[in-house]
Amino acid sequence: MKHEQHAGWWEGICVTLTPFTLCLAGITPAEEASSWFRICAAALICLTGLCGTLRLFHRKKMGRPLCLLALAALPLLAGRDLQNSPFAALFYGSLMMIGIFSLWEWKSASAPPPPAKLPEFYRIRTLGSALTLLLISQLSLFTVGNQSWTAQSGFLLSGSITAFYLLRWSRRLSQNKVQHYLFPLGVLLLFLLLWGGFYIHLLRIQLFWEGLLVILLTFFYRPAAGPRESALDLVLRHPARCMFATFFGLSALGTLLLCTPLATTGSVRAIDAAFLAVSASCVTGLTTIDIGSNFSFFGELCMLLLIQAGGLGLMSIAAIALHSIGKLSLNQEWVMTQVTDTSDRSLPDSLKLILKFTFSVELIGALLLGFAFVRGYGMSVPDALWKGLFAAVSGFCNAGMCLFPDSMEPFCTNPLILVTLSLLCVLGGIAPAVCLLLPRYFMRRPIPLSAELAITTTMILLGAGTISVLVFEWNGLLAGLTVTDKITNAWFQAAVLRTAGFNSVNVADCTNATYLMTLLWMFIGASPGGTGGGIKTTTAAVLALTFWTNVTGHNEIIIRNRRIPHYTVYRAVTLLFASLAVLSLSILMLVVTQAIPEKQLIFEAISALATVGLSIGATAELDNIGKIIIMATMFIGRIGPITIFMILNDPRRSSDSRCPNARIAIN
C-alpha cells in the first residue's frame, strides 16, 4: 500500500474509533438528571482524544500529549464502572495498552498528500472509517447496554464522522454524476443518524447498514486510472498482519456457519458458537458445550474443516492454489516464505509435500480408529468412520476436540485407540516437514539442526512426561488399571498434554506435582511448523543451551559444529517474555472477572495460550466475559504472542548501529 493510502487508512480507523471511549462513562437514563458534570467531562475527554488523534496526522507536536491525556483521564471518569463492571475494566485495560504502544511507535507523515492523490486518500480514509463503524456496531451488541446515554452519543458521533468523510470524498471526485449522487447520500445519512439517535434501539442497525453501504461505495467508485493494489495485497504484504487477518477471518467465518440453524440440533448461543469457532480455528480444543449433542452433522463437518484449515494454516492452502495458477507476486511470495518458514525456491514443493503427508497420515489414523470403534464398541461402520476421521484430524492438528462427551476416558483400556491418537498428536506436533526427516534422524544421518533440536527435545519431553505421570499418578489417576494400561495411559497423557486437549483419565483429580508438570509441558508446547502452540520446543532448547553456555563460561553457543547466532537467542528470549506478558494479563483478567478458583483459571489460561485445550473444569463455568478473554488468549496463542507486537512494525527494518558497547551489572 502506498504511503498516502496507508496514512488515510489509519486516520479513518483511529478517528472513528475514538468516540467509542464514551462507553466508559456509564451514564444511564436514571442518572442523567444528576450527572451533568460527568457528562460534560466525558464530552471534554472525547473532544481531547479527537483533537489529539487528528493532530497525529498533521505533524503537530501536541498530538501525542493530548491522546495520552485522554487515555489517562478515562479511569477518573469511569472509576466506579471499572470497579463494578469486569468488561469496562477489560476494555479500558486493552485500550490503554494498545493506545500507549501505538503512540510510542507512531511516526507522523513526512508531508501531506499532493492534490492529485487527495481523492484516493479520502477514499481510503472513508473505507477505514466505515470498516471501523461496522465492527463497532457488531461488538456493541455483546458489550454495551442499550440505555447508556454516553454510549449512544459515541455511536452517533462515530457514524457522523463516517458520513462526514463520505461527504469530503464525494467533493473530491471528478465525475459530476457520481458527485451529484454521493453528496446528497452523505447528507441523508447524517439526518438518518440524528433521527436514529432519538430511537436508541434502531441506532446500531443504522450504523451497521451505513458502514456496509459506504464500504460498497468505496469499492465501486475506485479510480479507473493509475496503479491499483489487489485486495489480496492488503493481506499478503506483512507476515504478522497476514497471520492475524487469516485466522481472524477463519474464526469469523466459522462463527457465522456454526450460528446457522442447519449446524445445530437445538439452541446454541452466539457466544458459544464463536467460542467453538475460535477454538477449532486455533486448534485449541476448549469447549463450553458438548459438540456431539448440540451440533448436527453439518455443524460437525464445519468444525472439522475449521480444524483442518487452522491446523495446516489457511495461508499454506491458499499459497498452493495461487502458486499453481501463477498469482503470487514477488512481495506476496516473500511474505509467504516468512509465514511458512521455507525458502522461496522450495515454497510450492514443500507445501505440496506437507499436504500429501498430512492427508495420508490422517487417513491411516481414521481407518485405524474407525476399525477400533467398530471392533471393540459395536458402532455402525459409517458412525465409527466419521468419529474416527474427526478424531484423527483433530489429533494430527492437535485440536483435542472429539465427538465424545468425556473425551477419550471411555477408551482408557484400549491400547490401539490411545497409541494411534497419541502418535497422530506427536507427528502433527513436531511438524510434517520434520516428520519426513525422522528416518534420517534415527539412522544417525545429518539433518538440519533445527529439526534435530525439535526431535530431541520432543523425545526428552515424552520420556520425562511418561515417567513423571507413572510416578506421580500410579496410585492416583492410574489406580485400578493394569500395568500395561497404566503405561499406555501415562504415555498418552505425556503425548497430548503438550499440544492436544484429549484426556484418557480425569486430569482434574491429578496431584499437585502432575499439575505443575502439566503447566510447564503445556507452556513449552509443540515444534515450529507443527500444529500445536506454546513457546515451541526449539525455543526451550535454545534457552537451555544459552543457560548452559553461560554457566560454563563460553561466549558462543556451539552445537554439532554449528554456531547459534545471537539473533536466534534474542528472538527466543523475546518470545518467552511476550508469552509471559500475555499469560500474566490473561490470568489477571480472569482472576478479576471470574468467581472460579485461581488454580483452575491458571490452568485454563495456559491451556488456551498454548492452544492445548486441556481443561480441569473451568471452561464450562466461564461467563461471557471469561469466554471472551479465553477466546482472545487462544487467538493470540495460535498466531503467536510475538506477532501481536509485530503487527505495526516493518519486518525489513534494520536496527544495526555503530554505538559503543555498554557495561551493565547483572549480579
pLDDT at residue 144, rounded to an integer: 47
Long-range contacts of 384-391 (CB under 8 A, 24+ apart): 386/297, 386/300, 389/304, 389/362, 390/300, 390/304, 391/365, 391/366, 391/421
Q: How many CB atoms lie under 10 A from the CB of residue 482?
A: 10
Q: What angle do CA 414, 417, 423 make, to 5 degrees?
A: 130
Torsion of CA 161, 166, 172, 174, to 10 degrees: 180
CA–centroid distance for 44 within its chain? 35
Residue 437 in grid coordinates: 526427516
pLDDT at residue 556, rounded to an integer: 83
Residue 574 in grid coordinates: 523475546
* Rounded CA separation 90/398 (Å): 30
For the chain, the structural domain boundaries read: 3-224
548: Cβ–Cβ under 8 A, 6 or more apart, which residues? none
Torsion of CA 133, 138, 142, 145, to 10 degrees: 50
* Rounded CA separation 37/189 (Å): 31
Torsion of CA 75, 81, 86, 90, to 10 degrees: -30
Which residue reads 463520505 in cell numbers? Answer: 166
Which residue reads 509435500 in cell numbers? Answer: 353
Q: How many CB atoms lie under 10 A from the CB of residue 344?
A: 12
User: DSSP character for 110?
Assistant: S
State which residues of the chain have pLDDT below 70: 1-7, 21-39, 57-61, 74-117, 138-151, 173-183, 185-187, 189-206, 219-242, 313-350, 642-658, 661-667
* Rounded CA separation 233/327 (Å): 11
C-beta separation of 585 from 592 below 8 A: no
Condensed to tens digits (0 to 9), the pLDDT of residues 139-173 reads 665 554 445 666 677 777 887 888 888 777 777 76
Long-range contacts of 627-632 (CB under 8 A, 24+ apart): 627/271, 627/272, 627/275, 627/288, 628/90, 628/142, 628/271, 629/90, 629/586, 629/589, 629/590, 629/593, 630/275, 630/286, 630/586, 630/590, 630/604, 630/605, 631/274, 631/275, 631/278, 631/279, 632/586
* Rounded CA separation 537/376 (Å): 36
Helix axes 176-198, 149-172, angle to 10 degrees: 170
Torsion of CA 396, 400, 405, 408, to 10 degrees: 60
Concatenating the DSSP letter of every residue in 334-384 gives: HHHHHHHT--TTTHHHHHHHHHHHHHHHHHHHHHHHHHHHHHHH---HHHH
List for the chain the helix, strand, coil content (%; round to 5): 70, 0, 25
Which residue reads 527466543 in cell numbers? Answer: 572
* Rounded CA separation 498/521 (Å): 5
Which residue reads 475506485 in cell numbers? Answer: 222
CA–centroid distance for 374 within its chain? 38
Condensed to tens digits (0 to 9), the pLDDT of residues 183-201 reads 676 667 666 666 655 555 5
What secondary structure, in 3-state letters, does 486-537 show?
HHHHHHHHHHHCCCCCCCCCCHHHCCHHHHHHHHHHHHHCCCCCCCCCCCCH
Global model pTM greater than 0.75: no
Element (DSSP H or E) covering residue 249: helix 239-259
550: Cβ–Cβ under 8 A, 6 or more apart, which residues? none
pLDDT at residue 491, rounded to an integer: 92
**CA dist list (Å): 422 to 107, 491, 497, 504:** 49, 8, 10, 11
User: DSSP character for 114?
Assistant: P
* Rounded CA separation 394/307 (Å): 7
Q: What sign results for the dihedral spanned by CA atoms 146, 147, 153, 154? A: negative
Amino acid found at 128? G
Strand, coil or helix: what is 29?
helix
Task: State the burial class of residue 441 (Cβ atoms within 10 Å of its Cβ: 0-12, 13-18, 19+).
Answer: middle
